[in-house]
A and B are shown apart, each in its own frame.
Chain A
Amino acid sequence: NAGVTQTPKFRILKIGQSMTLQCTQDMNHNYMYWYRQDPGMGLKLIYYSVGAGITDKGEVPNGYNVSRSTTEDFPLRLELAAPSQTSVYFCASSSSTWGNYGYTFGSGTRLTVV
């Protein structure tokens, strides 16, 4: 069972560069999420999606964009990378907004902006 797959696992970006963090799930979950975790901090929600074609901002959306063209994929786009975006990024999915069975998380992408 693949679950939630994130690529790449690690990336170093220069200030001002752009990149897309990929996230794919094979559980047919409608709900998908992007979180970031800074050192010593909890996970903060960047964007989420309740289904294909529908996305919404979370707690810390500035500097990011998302799209949801299919149920399976939920890429996160960073435009004009800044050092403040150095973090570990987690993608997650769930079968319901209530998260009765919790979220299934990917293994994360560690991004460093220099």
Chain B
Amino acid sequence: DQQVKQNSPSLSVQEGRISILNCDYTNSMFDYFLWYKKYPAEGPTFLISISSIKDKNEDGRFTVFLNKSAKHLSLHIVPSQPGDSAVYFCAASVSGNQFYFGTGTSLTVIP
């Protein structure tokens, strides 16, 4: 039973444009969310987090939005760069304990 879902397995975006990666979750108790980036043959790398007391968190080109009523979060990358090409995972937890991961979205940024 997948509690965290990323329904788009892949996404292609032109360099300089916005990339929007989406994530849905089913457990309304989730209150802490993370995004990770993963290159081939490497472990995931932490990107950005958001807690349920916020609806937005920014870090440079990366912004995460949280819509608690819709149980939806999204990661915006602006502007997208070829080095952003990777697999992106969202993860959710209750009080920062066990994190449940989505299946990932493979982003390709076209130069």
Contact = CB atoms under 8 A, between A and B. Distances in A.
Contact of B97 (A4, A40, A97, A102): A97
A39 B15 CA distance: 28
Contacts of A41: 103
B101 A102 contact: no
B2 interface: yes
Contact of B43 (A42, A48, A106): A106
Contacts of B103: 40-42
A90 B36 CA distance: 14
A96 B4 contact: no
Interface size class on chain B is 20 to 34
Nearest to A38: B103
A11 to B, nearest CB: 15
B98 A99 contact: no
Nearest to A37: B101
B32 interface: yes
B104 A42 contact: yes
Interface in A46-63: 48, 58-59
B96 interface: yes
B98 A48 contact: yes
29 contacts: A4-B43, A41-B103, A42-B2, A42-B89, A42-B100, A42-B101, A42-B103, A43-B89, A43-B91, A43-B101, A45-B99, A90-B44, A92-B43, A97-B97, A98-B32, A98-B96, A99-B34, A99-B96, A100-B96, A101-B46, A102-B34, A102-B36, A102-B49, A103-B44, A103-B99, A105-B45, A106-B43, A108-B41, A108-B43
Interface of B: 2, 4, 6, 9, 32, 34, 36, 41-47, 49, 89, 91, 93, 95-104
